[in-house]
Amino acid sequence: MRRSLVVGNWKMNGTRASAELLAKGIIAGLGSDHADIAVCVPYVYLPYVAELVKDTALALGAQNVADQSSGAYTGEISASMLKEVGCTYALVGHSERRSYYGDTNESVAARFRQAQEQNIIPVLCVGETLEQREQDQTFAVINEQLDAVINLVGIAAFSAAVIAYEPVWAIGTGKTASDEQAQEVHHYIRQYIAAKDQVIADKIQILYGGSAKPDNAKGLFAMPDIDGGLIGGASLDAESFLKIYHSI
């Protein structure tokens, strides 16, 4: 049985005070240890939230990681820095990074490798735009996004990674993929991995992201290949994030 995982992505929101309040609210409502849970916090608030999550079941994640290990890369944050402040996870290849900041399949693969070199679990985000879906390019796009990473680090590296399927058209739009639409792509991703390594495919957590909310999470999480969620907007409110977590 795969353990489920719910990850909040706070994106560029909040203040130090609101970040601390949100983390405290989540910790207070964790309850039973039925699934893994993490929050991806803006870089500058990581140390504050790290203090609060210590000795709790709430894990800490970053929203990105540099594609280099150290050196003259102004503005970047390395995997070893993230490790030092207590990150367990780092998102790589979020669609907002890919579309607004030029993260390419190759740089995403390098970020994935950097994270793993510091024993940080990369959460590799993949997904198609609306235009790509309408042109029946969904699987081709996902193949390319996965292949860039597999080619750099090898399939074995996926034994310590998470994949998040986030259809770009569903992110922040209120348009969730239907349970069946999401399941179809999750199943495809698992089969794609299985063709290279069945054991890893059976084990890897594949999360759904894109307008996941308390009222649609249960249906999504009931799908056989959906192992949890990567939650944006609804993770900014402790109550809704916890409702999603508890609907697993």
| Residue of the chain from 90, 121, 162, 230 that contacts ligand 13P (CB under 6 A) | 230
Instruction: Out of 96, 128, 166, 186, pick the active-site residue.
Output: 166
The crossing angle, in degrees rounded to 10, of helices 179-194 and 214-221 is: 40
- The answer to whether 227 contacts ligand 13P (rule: CB under 6 A) is no
Q: Establish if 233 lies at the interface with ligand 13P (CB under 6 A).
A: yes
Q: Which residue is nearest to ligand 13P (CB)?
A: 232
Contact call for residues 151 and 194 (beta carbons, < 8 A):
no
Please choose, from the candidates 94, 38, 36, 44, the residue with its C-alpha nearest in 3D space to the C-alpha of residue 64: 94
171 binds ligand 13P (CB under 6 A): yes
Q: Of 80, 81, 75, 105, give the one whose Cα is nearest residue 93.
A: 105
Residue list 94-153, contact with ligand 13P (CB under 6 A): 94
- Please identify which of the residues 76, 94, 131, 134 carries the catalytic annotation: 94
Instruction: Compute how many residues bind ligand 13P; rule: CB under 6 A.
Output: 14
3-state secondary structure of 58: strand
Is 184 annotated in the active site? no
> What one-character DSSP code corresponds to residue 219?
H
94 carries an active-site annotation: yes
Pure H helices in 7-104: 16-28, 46-53, 79-84, 95-100
Shortest approach of ligand 13P to residue 1 CB, angstroms?
25
Tokens found for residue 78: 């390395």
Stretch that binds ligand 13P, among 67-75, 165-173, 185-193, 218-226 (CB under 6 A): 165-173
Residue 207 interacts with ligand 13P (CB under 6 A)?
A: no
Minimum CB separation of residue 175 from ligand 13P in Å reads 9
Q: How far is the CB of 65 from ligand 13P (least distance, A)?
A: 15
The reply to whether 172 sits near ligand 13P by the rule CB under 6 A is yes
Is residue 209 near ligand 13P by the rule CB under 6 A?
Answer: yes
112 to 66, 97, 107, 208: CA distances (angstroms) = 9, 14, 9, 19
Check residue 204 for interaction with ligand 13P (CB under 6 A). no
Report the nearest approach of ligand 13P to the CB of residue 234 (Å): 6
- Any idea which residue has 């870089």 for tokens? 43
For the four alpha carbons of 126, 162, 217 and 43, in that order, the dihedral sign comes to negative
Q: Distance (Å, rounded) from C-alpha 205 to C-alpha 2? A: 7
Pick from 4, 5, 6, 9: which binds ligand 13P (CB under 6 A)?
9
Write out the catalytic residue numbers.
94, 166
Residues that bind ligand 13P (CB under 6 A): 9, 94, 166, 171-172, 209-212, 230-234
